[in-house]
Structure 1
Amino acid sequence: MSLNRSMLLVSGNSPKRLQDAAVFNPGLLVLDLADEVKDEDKDSARLLVREAIRFLDYEKVKLAVRINTLKSGFGTKDIEVISRVKPEAFLIPQASVEQLQDVEIMLALAEKEGALESGGIKLIPVIETVKALDGISSILSVSSRIVGAFFNADGLAKELGMTRTQEGDEILYARSKVAIACRAAGLNSFDTVFTESNDEEGLLKDARKARNLGFTGKAAINGRQIEIINHVFA
């Protein structure tokens, strides 16, 4: 996967957002089956995402799907169903060496059964736990499918009981470690989202900080943020 400047995360449970997301021109469009979808809606969201990939016009964007963790009970089915429509990549939440190894086995089987290109679907581990941050180098080297990492500061903050601020001093070490590890491995790195969607000046400042730390791109949950992110990482 070539260098991407921006990642737009879109709920897999919202038909309107699935239909409209590509117009914002993100480097990578991520259809989310995990954080943005309640447990009782997981099965319907999975089918909705599958049909969106089949029938909506995503030709101008690279497309990935954030699946659920394997331990949640939903991740295995996500891989079985979504791999058949050949997304560019899967985002793996709460990434660990063990989980990525299991995903690798499942993907290889799904590609064989679906007569798909072996190794064609890539992986982007989500670094959002203390364990993942501590072992990021091992995570990035566990599979040849891995093309980058996404740092989710909200997940890390929840585990550590931190309060996130716009200045981001509390996540500086974690950000730096993710960016440097990805650069050392020759992989893409997506910085965490800037949650104040109406603060363009704050986003610009935060994106510049991420770029200066070594990230190759930044994630967003609002399509209006993509233009600024693309400009900063151009």
Structure 2
Amino acid sequence: MSHTNHQPVKTRLQRSELAVPGSNPSMIEKAADSAADYVFLDLEDAVAPLDKIAARKNIIEALNDIDWKAKGKTICIRINGLDTHYMYRDVVEIVEQAGQHLDTILVPKVGVPADLYMVEAMCNQIEQAQGFTHKIGLEALIETALGMANVEAIAQASPRLEAMHFGVADYAASNRARTVVIGGLNPDYPGDQWHAALSRMTVACRAYGLRAIDGPFGDFSDPDSYILAAKRAAALGLEGKWAIHPSQIALANEVFSPPLEELNRAKGILAALAEAQAKGQGAAQLDGKMIDAASARMAENVVNVANIIAAQGS
């Protein structure tokens, strides 16, 4: 193990992340009572320009009026892009008026570390001025070629940064990919078109202690393909996926929760290695397979996720 070791910045259960337009109060209320681990109230793509100001007001009311923590939710807002004139009012108005109830801010189309620095500086000043006792976390949406080219630097950009998300639709557009599908497999591509991007972002996250989250799957009428996309993400090490429709919440929760058989296998590995260690052995056999310290680290990941889910009561 290297002497440089970045521990996880913040542990949160984030199997399912429900995207909710800030312009729709009834959907916000339903989201609070949903089974989603995480809810982000959107000010960006899901909100038309003429509704941006009203959406801010709706979000401020929802943050102040709904007890999100009592409902077992981590609550987040997605602000508008730094290249718009909406962004600074999103941060100032919402954080000033409801920041004490806000867990994280999702910053879209992050391209360089300075993008996060700008939002961090604004949060620093507002929190000091308001006398808040907690720091709002930041999450970066990697959805452009520039962002992916700088993803390792972005991962180190701010002590507030907790997670990075892969935004497949804008990423496809930024790279001029020949697709109009949001997520899923492209029949013209031999394999998963987004494998390399997801893997690179995940490596950057794990290297610097961040959570790695997969983004949207557009066809909410196709649960089977959503499950396949989520399983591919989970296999790479991502720990959750967006739900753009309530029907996708249960699918994400199931895929990103360790199955009982996998959990029992992980516990068996740890028990067998503990027994071997007591005998002075560094490796062991279990069900005809060799296991060692690396096996233990993989097994611990499974057990730790299961413990977090159990603690959440999900």
Shorter-chain TM-score above 0.5: yes
Runs of 4+ in 1 over 6 A off after TM superposition: none
* Equivalent of 1:2 in 6, 11, 17: 11
CA positional deviation for 1:137: 1.1
Partner of 2:256: 233
Higher relative contact order (CA 8 A, sep 6+): 1
Shift of 1:170: 2.1
* Residue number in structure 1 paired with 2:83: 71
TM (normalized to structure 1)?
A: 0.95
Question: What's the counterpart of residue 48 of structure 1?
Answer: 58
Counterpart among 134, 158, 166 of residue 184 in structure 2:
166
Contact 1:5 1:27 in 2 (8 A): yes
Secondary structure (helix, strand or coil) at the match of 2:46 reads: coil
What's the CA shift for 1:7?
0.9
Range 1-10 or range 211-220, more displaced: 1-10
What SS does the corresponding residue of 1:65 show, helix, strand or coil? strand
On the 8 A contact 1:182/1:188 being kept in 2, the answer is yes
Residue 166 (structure 1) shift = 2.3
1:26 aligns with 2:41: no
Which deviates the most, 203-212 or 21-30? 21-30
Equivalent of 1:107 in 94, 118, 123: 123
* Corresponding residue number in structure 1 for 2:229: 206
Residue 187 of structure 1 corresponds to 210
Q: Shift in Å at residue 27 of structure 1?
A: 1.6
Q: Deviations over 1:45-68 (max 9, x none)?
A: 111110111113423211000001
In structure 2, distance between residues paired with 1:36 and 1:196:
16
Letter in 2 for 1:24: S
Aligned length: 233
Q: Check conservation: 2:155, 2:161, Cα contact below 8 A.
A: yes
Once the two structures are superposed, the pairs formed by residues 87-126 of structure 1 within 5 Å of their partners are: 87-95=102-110, 96-117=112-133, 120-126=135-141
Are the equivalent residues in 1 in contact too, given 2:184–2:226 (CA < 8 A)? no
Cα deviation digits, residues 83-103 of structure 1 (max 9, x gap): 131210000001131211111
State which structure, 1 or 2, has the greater radius of gyration over its C-alpha atoms: 2
Alpha-carbon RMSD across the aligned residues, in angstroms, is: 1.4
The alignment status of 1:142 with 2:157, answered yes or no, reads yes
AA in 1 matched with 2:156: S
Shift of residue 171, structure 1, vs aligned partner: 1.5
Alignment match of 1:82 (pick from 94, 104, 128):
94
Conserved? CA contact 1:151–1:178, under 8 Å: yes
Matched-pair contact (CA < 8 Å) for 1:5–1:233? yes
Alignment deviations for residues 141-163 of structure 1 (CA, whole Å, 9 cap, x no partner):
11000001111000111112221
Q: Which residue is equivalent to 2:171?
A: 156
Bigger mean CA deviation after superposition, 142-151 or 1-10: 1-10
Query: Take 1:207 and 1:196, find their aligned partners in 2: how far apart are those partners?
Result: 13
Note the residue ranges of structure 2 that are not aligned, 5 or more in a row. Answer: 1-9, 187-191, 258-314
Task: For 1:230 and 1:92, locate their aligned partners in 2 and report how far apart those are by CA, in whole Å.
Answer: 24
Q: Which amino acid aligns with 1:159?
A: S
Residue type at the aligned position of 1:125: A
Aligned partner of residue 72 in structure 1, secondary structure: coil
